[in-house]
Amino acid sequence: MTARDLYADITNTLIALIEADPGHLQLPWRRTGLPLSLPINAVTGNAYNGINIVSLWIASEARAYTAPLWATFKQWQSINAQVRKGEKASLVIFYKEFETAADPDSDDDGKRRVARASYVFNAAQVDGYALPQAAPLGSPIERMATADRFVTATGARIRFGGDHAYYRPSTDEIVLPPEEAFFDTQTMTRSEAFYATELHECIHYADIRIMPRAREINREGRIY
């Protein structure tokens, strides 16, 4: 595979992801595990750079990986971790350096670099590897007394934990990420993001009591 083909392959993957879900919503809370950050090699500790950052971000977004830790099949084996059968690798590029005859009439030192393909797996694709402890979540949000009174008045039972927000009719409860997991976005503060999510689920809570066979219920019995 040539260098041009490598870049084209990553570009085509990005285009396919956009076309598959052009309206993907960015949730205003951190998922559990490690926050989204620059991808790092789990064995060497070195950060990936260049187009590899984009390539691995694409893979993480498409497959919902939460940890930015990657390594080749052999590297995972070297730390007694095993890639699970059937897992799909992600493409990265590394440059191999070699020497040729230098041009005496220029500053050319004779060193050349050629792009090579390599394939890595995320920490979520292996067994026998313990993720590093996640960084502490943020501080509690700024409370909105009026919104809190409204939510209390609905009578909804709310449980905090995990990295999803939904109403589950089977247990008649709303499940939200912990408030410390929410963060500022371009359009909302952390507090606004939390209450927007909580009130959204309260609407589902109210609707299901009026329309028990709501079409939004998915196969896991959740309404998002």
What pLDDT shows up at residue 33?
46
27 vs 208: which has the higher pLDDT? 208
Statement to judge: residues 14 and 115 lie in one domain: yes
Statement to judge: residues 113 and 189 lie in one domain: no
* Residue at 30 is within a domain: yes
Statement to judge: residues 25 and 108 lie in one domain: yes
Span 160-169, mean pLDDT? 81
Statement to judge: residues 52 and 156 lie in one domain: no
Residue with tokens 């993720």: 131
What pLDDT shows up at residue 224?
56
pLDDT at 32 over 90: no
* Residue at 177 is within a domain: yes
Span 6-16, mean pLDDT? 71
Span 85-108, mean pLDDT? 77
Span 27-38, mean pLDDT? 56
* Residue at 218 is within a domain: no
User: Which structural domain range is residue 179 located in?
Assistant: 145-210
Rounded to 10 deg, the angle between the 190-210 and 145-154 helix axes is 20
Report the candidate in 85, 91, 94, 127 with the shortest Cα–Cα distance to residue 113.
Answer: 94
* Residue at 106 is within a domain: yes
pLDDT, averaged across the chain? 78
Q: Which of 1-5, 11-15, 17-21, 128-132 has the highest mean pLDDT?
A: 128-132
Dihedral angle computed from the Cα positions of residues 174, 26, 31 and 48, in that order, rounded to the nearest 10 degrees: 170
How many CB atoms lie under 10 A from the CB of residue 53?
Answer: 15
Statement to judge: residues 11 and 122 lie in one domain: yes
124: helix, strand or coil:
helix
What pLDDT shows up at residue 1?
53
- Contacts of residues 185-191 at CB distance under 8 Å and 24 or more positions apart, as own/partner, are 185/26, 185/28, 188/28, 189/142, 190/28, 190/138, 190/141, 190/142, 191/141, 191/142, 191/143, 191/144
pLDDT at 64 over 60: yes
* Residue at 48 is within a domain: yes
116: helix, strand or coil:
strand
**Sign of the alpha-carbon torsion through 56, 62, 68, 72:** negative
Statement to judge: residues 110 and 186 lie in one domain: no
The total domain count for the chain is: 2
Span 44-60, mean pLDDT? 85
Report the candidate in 182, 199, 203 with the shortest Cα–Cα distance to residue 191.
Answer: 182
pLDDT at 119 over 90: yes
**Sign of the alpha-carbon torsion through 120, 125, 126, 131:** positive
Report the candidate in 80, 78, 75 with the shortest Cα–Cα distance to residue 118.
Answer: 75
Statement to judge: residues 70 and 163 lie in one domain: no
* Residue at 216 is within a domain: no
